[in-house]
Amino acid sequence: MTAADSARMHEVSDETAAIVDLVLEYSRNRLLAQDTPLDKPLPQAELVRLAGRTISEQGIGARKALGIFEHVLAPACISIDDPAYLSFIPAAPTKAAAAFDVVVSASVLYGGSWLEGAGAVHAENEVLRWLAAEFGLPEGAGGVFVQGGTLGNLSALVAARDAARRRGRSPERFAMVCSVEAHSSNISAAKVMDVDVIAVPAGEDGILRADAVRAALEEHGDRVFAVVATAGSTNFGIVDDIAGIAALKDEFEFWLHVDGAYGLAGMLSPLTRSLFAGVERADSLVVDPHKWLFAPFDACALIYRDPQLGRIAHTQHAEYLDTLTETGDWSPSDFAIHLTRRPRGLPLWFSLATYGAGVYRDAVSHSIELARRIADEIESRPELSLVRQPMLSVVVFEREGWTKEDYNRWSAQLLDEQIAFVTPSSHAGRTNARFAILNPRTTFERLVEILDTMTERRAGPSRTEGR
């Protein structure tokens, strides 16, 4: 092997120029495509047959590799930015954000330290300050973009426990309070931290209220280091009584963390802003731009009321890191459970700078208005019923007489026919259907078309589920 051979992958040459041209052409076509199919997964055996062996000593070349991706692998991935993607919590990155994600990768930026990425960190921090102001947090609030809500919640709760310890609290076992309907990532965080979860019953409407939290605080006392309030649950879009829970901080000592991974972006809309009263008293919060703020995967904004508490809890110390940690510069690696990171907040920054915040408010409001309109349509159909009125942009409903098997069959048929991706959900032991509406290109007419497939008895009821 010659020196030229070892550097071949990194040199600017005719070969690498051709590779870059291929990739950029594909990216441009994908970003500007108006008829991208929804697509669907394929069985493993079928992918093995179609793709063949792609990894070898000699390589198969960029053109063939990209061809396999374009014609075999990509069509086996559901297009999450499709307006008919209505399952889980979708993603719908703006064209500017998705395009700039290419720039971020091409620039090979490191976003872990101010020393190595000051310009990128500055731009990310401008977005974090804008979000903090939207949520009513004080001027000094700040944080970091992490991978997702799971890592954001875990990092915030680790900082909360660290703060409690430094205040002198040392119970036999720490505990955190959250709703029984809180996101599963909070439970996972507690398992990782080896702390107890005090799951407090929500009301019939799914809202966690102050009286239930008060009872838990009075019963468990000094063990409780944090209370997690949800600002838009994944299953229903429920916003807890954040103001009432926050008021308990006047009587009890605890860290208030607001998990707004999906729903906190609803504060941008005047239609729902009032639902989030009390967020301004949070000690930490998360919101995922890759959900309702139209950024590409993966980006979660973790914001601390007092960033210094996050820094103290998370800064890593090692001899080779001394040049970073001794300066006091704002290094994103100091504010969460990570060290290496890409500047994942930059696509959101570019999109916000390009379009302005007003368009974001309009896009969020569109989802809320559409959810309310389709909820009214569901209520007008005798064979359908709402499980709960939507608070934000998630609409949960049932088809009279359907079993879990009927919902599964209907869902599979929708995807097979490329009409929509709507996976069944459940609540209180009953299967239901659920629209998670985030994409501004989703239309009322498309949702009505999906409802029509339920009333045409294409899946067909087999027996009535017990009520």
Query: Using an 8 Å Cβ cutoff, are 145 and 345 in contact?
Result: yes
How high is the mean pLDDT of the chain? 93
User: Where does 281-434 have alpha helices with state H?
Assistant: 289-292, 307-314, 322-325, 346-355, 357-379, 404-416
Residues listed for the chain: 467
What does the pLDDT average to over 194-220? 96
What does the pLDDT average to over 100-128? 96
Q: How far apart are CA 166 and CA 160, in angstroms?
A: 10
User: What's the count of helices (H) and strands (E) in the chain, helices before strands?
Assistant: 17, 11
Q: How far apart are CA 52 and CA 30, in angstroms?
A: 24
Nearest to 383 by CA among 399, 396, 407: 399
For residue 53, pLDDT over 70 is answered with: yes
Nearest to 209 by CA among 188, 184, 185, 180: 180
For residue 33, pLDDT over 70 is answered with: yes
For residue 458, pLDDT over 90 is answered with: no
- SS3 state at 346: helix
The sign one gets for the Cα dihedral 78, 98, 104, 27 is positive
Query: Using an 8 Å Cβ cutoff, are 129 and 349 in contact?
Result: no
Residue 228 β-bridge partners: 257
Nearest to 37 by CA among 417, 453, 443: 417
What does the pLDDT average to over 176-189? 92
For residue 359, pLDDT over 80 is answered with: yes
For residue 229, pLDDT over 70 is answered with: yes
For residue 464, pLDDT over 90 is answered with: no
Q: How far apart are CA 209 and CA 207, in angstroms?
A: 6
Query: Using an 8 Å Cβ cutoff, are 254 and 311 in contact?
Result: no
- pTM beyond 0.85: the answer is yes
pLDDT digit string (tens) for 272-326?
999 999 999 999 999 999 999 999 999 999 999 999 999 999 998 765 565 656 6
Q: What are phi and psi of 103, to 5 degrees?
A: -65, -40
Nearest to 347 by CA among 151, 106, 104: 104
Residue 463 is predicted with a pLDDT of 35
pLDDT digit string (tens) for 115-153?
999 999 999 999 999 999 999 999 999 999 999 999 999
As given in the structure block, the two tokens for residue 130 are 């804008």
As given in the structure block, the two tokens for residue 409 are 């069959």
Could you give the maximum distance between any two Cα atoms of the chain, in Å?
75
Residue 320 is predicted with a pLDDT of 53
Residue 134 is predicted with a pLDDT of 98
For residue 158, pLDDT over 80 is answered with: yes
As given in the structure block, the two tokens for residue 458 are 């294409």
pLDDT digit string (tens) for 13-32?
999 999 999 999 999 999 99
Q: Three-state SS string across 261-292, please?
A: CCHHHHHHCCCCHHHHCCHHHCCEEEECHHHH
Residue 327 is predicted with a pLDDT of 73
Residue 462 is predicted with a pLDDT of 42
Residue 255 β-bridge partners: 226
Q: What are phi and psi of 171, to 5 degrees?
A: -70, 165
Q: What are phi and psi of 10, to 5 degrees?
A: -115, -10
Q: Which CA distances in Å does 157 have to 175, 178, 209, 309, 420?
A: 11, 12, 21, 11, 37
What does the pLDDT average to over 399-412? 96
Domains contained in the chain, CATH given: 39-76 (no CATH), 99-357 (3.40.640.10), 364-455 (3.90.1150.10)
396: enclosing H helix or E strand: strand 394-399
pLDDT digit string (tens) for 376-402?
999 999 999 999 999 999 999 999 999
